[in-house]
Amino acid sequence: MATAAATTGTDMDHPFRQEARDWLEANFDPALRGKDNAMSAVDGPTEETPEQKKWREVMGEKGWGVPTWPKELGGGGLDRAQARILQEEMARIGAWNPIGGMGVMMFGPTLLEYGNDAQKQQHIPGIVRGEVRWCQGYSEPGAGSDLASLQTFAEDKGDYYLVNGQKTWTSGGQWADKCFALVRTDKSQKHAGISFLLIDMDAEGVETRPIRLISGQSPFCETFFTNVKVPKENLVGREGQGWEIGTRLLQHERNSLSGGGGSAGRMNAGTTVPEIAKKYRGTDAEGRIADADLRTRIIKHEMDQRAFALTLRRAALEAKGNAGPSAATSIMKNVGARITQDRAELNIEIMGMQGLGWEGEGFTEAELAQTRSWLWGKAVSIYGGSTEIQNNVIAKRILGMLDHQ
């Protein structure tokens, strides 16, 4: 994350900087430094403390949790320069964004592009205030990488759709209030038969079953829809436009993931790799990491991580107007996933046997957390579209390589 120290010239003198600094210092409780969004835990939301709740409420009221979203819908209404300054000032005092989740990462930006006025008025304010949790209904047991093969069917019943089918890998489905889902409204066409539908998770006929992962956590679900009635006004865009809308949403997701959002970002927080190495491997007479080969590999990792952060910032600075993410997010997503996994592998290697603990005495809480993060991080190159799928996107849409018959 950029810091105020990294800015120069005009940015430091920008009139918005003092406004942001004054508001944050008046509203962010210093006791919350080093803590995190209670709604962002990998294994489900934790109970908010009164201080966390107050911070979420004031940030939601200000709209600065989604700083560039339209002010008339509750967002911050800031331009990109102001949003960057806000991020820098938050980093300066150790403040974190209490507004997040799939509503911010994926659904909200997509609805702003494709939703009608009534849908925006109905759904955006709840996302802005961090009051409504969303989940994603995309993958199915027989439609993962080939998502267009999905079979969940929404039958037209006049003033509502009757939805039947199954989704899998529904992140946070057991805690979500609502689901944005790709469903089939026409069985005669593959891509053109898909529509984008909003489903209440407490509707009759919706059932979730958590999936336990190798890390011991259960952030994903199987989700079943049995004769679920969904009002026609919950259709985003038009029938058959779901593939277009769903693909756009994935670009927003990859853009967020490549920037260290979500759980990948949390894995990169806290103690640095050099600090861990010095603790577990010791230092030489000059205070350097004792193992020269390990030191070289850590330096390369730190360089990659810093170069990636600077590339992300440059991309943000070069963005024009309100243009959203492009196919280039596939590159960023792949690189971000590799760096996140490289860090976890390095930490496990550095910690040796202390990095392989699952439970029991002889391990610190941080050591056990590192082991589980390492295991959980194997999913980073899968969710949001696997590395292989991103490589296909890069080859076709960026490099211009076409399939050869």
- Give the mean pLDDT per block of 10 residues along the chain (405 residues): 41 87 96 72 71 96 96 95 92 92 93 97 97 95 89 97 96 94 97 97 97 80 97 97 92 63 41 91 92 94 90 66 62 86 93 90 89 83 77 82 61
Can you list the alpha helix ranges (DSSP code H) found in 176-320? 242-258, 262-267, 273-281, 292-318
CA distance 359 to 349: 18
> Can you give the pTM of this predicted structure?
0.75
pLDDT at residue 327, as a whole number = 67
Can you list the alpha helix ranges (DSSP code H) found in 129-241? none
Query: Which of 37, 67, 65 minimizes the C-alpha distance to 51?
Result: 37
Return mean pLDDT, the chain: 86
Q: Kindly give the pairing relationship between strand 220-231 and strand 178-184.
A: unpaired
| Distance set, CA 282 to CA 218, 230, 270, 274, 286 (Å) | 36, 61, 19, 10, 11
- The 3-state DSSP class for residue 156 equals strand
pLDDT at residue 119, as a whole number = 98
pLDDT at residue 360, as a whole number = 86
Q: Kindly give the pairing relationship between strand 160-167 and strand 206-211.
A: unpaired
pLDDT at residue 9, as a whole number = 42
pLDDT at residue 66, as a whole number = 96
Q: What are the two backbone dihedrals, phi and then psi, of residue 302, each rounded to the nearest 5 degrees?
A: -65, -40
Q: What is the CA radius of gyration of the chain?
A: 22
Catalytic residue, chosen from 89, 140, 239, 253, is: 253
**Contact in structure between 76 and 146 (CB atoms under 8 Å):** no
Q: How many CA atoms lie within 13 A of 80 on its CB side?
A: 12
Q: Kindly give the pairing relationship between strand 134-137 and strand 178-184.
A: parallel
SS (H, E, C) 19-44: HHHHHHHHHCCHHHCCCCCHHHCCCC
* Backbone region of residue 138 per phi and psi (left: phi > 0; alpha: psi in -120 to 50; beta: other values): alpha
Which two tokens mark 100?
A: 């997040």
CA distance 121 to 133: 16
CB atoms within 10 A of CB 359: 9
| Distance set, CA 229 to CA 159, 179, 208, 374 (Å) | 10, 14, 17, 41
Alpha-carbon torsion (86, 90, 91, 97), positive or negative: negative
pLDDT at residue 13, as a whole number = 76
At a CB cut-off of 8 Å and minimum separation 6, what does 387 contact? 334, 337, 381
Query: Which of 154, 151, 240 minimizes the C-alpha distance to 203?
Result: 154
CB atoms within 10 A of CB 26: 8
**What is the DSSP track for 191-216?**
STTEEEEEEETTSTTEEEEEE--TTS
pLDDT at residue 45, as a whole number = 67
Active-site residue, 286 included: no
**Contact in structure between 161 and 155 (CB atoms under 8 Å):** yes
Burial class from Cβ neighbours inside 10 Å (0-12, 13-18, 19+) for residue 298 reads: buried
CA distance 292 to 249: 44
**Contact in structure between 181 and 167 (CB atoms under 8 Å):** yes
Which residue type does 159 have? Answer: D
pLDDT at residue 380, as a whole number = 79
pLDDT at residue 218, as a whole number = 78
β-pair partners for 160? 231
